[in-house]
């Protein structure tokens, strides 16, 4: 079988947050066939990509884990892109730029992979994954078979897709870009990168991107800033001074530190505005009793 297997794998090195304990078994498939075979045979494995919006438990992960980072092949046919789920999206953005194709400029600063971008219908700067999406192959974990889904069947919404509702795992996807002028595409990408520099911490300060989703017709960052969360600290985790919707791990934070800090941020906005923010970051792994209670409250379970 075309995959690598590691036991007691240190997960924190694989996340942009640099937080997380060990996973008992981690598989790295090298081909989509190997990926599908693992999905077919392992018992409810956890699928991870770039782990850019993920908080992994400091107590580790008991489930089998499949990491898709080796599934990084993509190809262009005119203005159609075929991409495996593990491709880092800035790479696709750059390749599209080189070919004077427009539609992926917004992804230039994203640290994640195609799988995560499609799963959450990633968006920024008035562009979204759903704008260029054509079709994809997913593995249905319930019925153990590969399905092909078109754009309509994906039920894309703001930061959402059918992948969040059904037990579907993205295998690969196709996108259709439009011909553009290279200089204009490059200028948009540069502007997007400059914007991110000013509004988001670089990954030299470990973080998981936006902590909470924007509520309808408002900004989570604005609400958090007005609620006074900037600079708030819990253990090794701190709300970034540059933008109130980011937590940085600047002193070897644990998953409990981040969970407690998120809960403080959540409650401060709720108390001031009676708005209950929804976490954009996903918690993965073994939850302590306290973590379970904190996340159940934020997710209203």
List the catalytic residues.
159, 210, 280
| Cβ contacts of 192 within 8 Å, gap of 6 or more | 105, 106, 108, 109, 124, 125
Query: Is residue 56 within 8 Å of 249, Cβ to Cβ?
Result: no
Query: Is residue 46 within 8 Å of 63, Cβ to Cβ?
Result: yes
Q: How far is CA 261 from CA 43, 157, 169, 272, 295, in A?
A: 33, 28, 31, 17, 11
**Strand 145-150 versus strand 74-77 pairing type:** unpaired
Q: How many CB atoms lie within 10 A of CB 108?
A: 24
Report the distance separating Cα 8 and Cα 295, nearest Å.
Answer: 26
Report the distance separating Cα 4 and Cα 48, nearest Å.
Answer: 15
Query: Is residue 163 within 8 Å of 87, Cβ to Cβ?
Result: no
- Token readout for 238 is 């701190």
Helix (H) or strand (E) holding 186: helix 182-199
Which DSSP string corresponds to 111-132? Answer: -SBHHHHHHTT-EETTEEHHHH
């Amino acid at each position: 079988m075309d995959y690598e297997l590691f036991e007691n794998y240190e997960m924190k090195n694989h996340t942009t947050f640099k937080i997380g304990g060990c996973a008992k078994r981690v598989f790295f498939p090298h081909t989509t066939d190997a990926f599908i075979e693992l999905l077919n045979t392992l018992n409810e494995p956890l699928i991870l990509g770039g782990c850019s919006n993920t908080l992994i438990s400091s107590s580790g992960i008991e489930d089998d884990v499949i990491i898709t980072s080796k599934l990084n092949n993509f190809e262009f046919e005119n203005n159609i892109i075929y991409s495996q789920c593990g491709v880092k999206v800035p790479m696709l953005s750059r390749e599209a730029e080189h070919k004077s194709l427009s539609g992926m400029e917004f992804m230039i600063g994203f640290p994640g992979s195609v799988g995560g971008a499609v799963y959450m219908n990633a968006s920024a700067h008035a562009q979204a994954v759903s704008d260029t999406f054509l079709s994809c192959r997913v593995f249905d974990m319930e019925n153990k078979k590969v399905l092909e889904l078109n754009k309509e069947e994906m039920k894309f919404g703001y930061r959402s897709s059918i992948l969040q509702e059904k037990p579907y795992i993205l295998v690969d996807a196709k996108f259709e870009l439009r011909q553009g002028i290279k200089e204009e595409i490059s200028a948009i990408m540069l502007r997007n990168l400059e914007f991110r520099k000013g509004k988001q911490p670089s990954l030299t300060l470990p973080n998981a991107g936006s902590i909470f989703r924007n509520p309808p017709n408002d900004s989570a960052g604005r609400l958090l800033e007005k609620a006074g969360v900037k600079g708030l600290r819990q253990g090794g985790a701190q709300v970034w001074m540059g933008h109130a919707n980011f937590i940085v791990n600047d002193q070897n934070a644990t998953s409990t530190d981040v969970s407690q800090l998120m809960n403080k941020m959540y409650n401060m906005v709720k108390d001031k505005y009676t708005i209950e923010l929804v976490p954009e970051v996903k918690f993965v792994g073994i939850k302590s009793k306290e973590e379970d209670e904190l996340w159940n409250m934020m997710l209203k379970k």
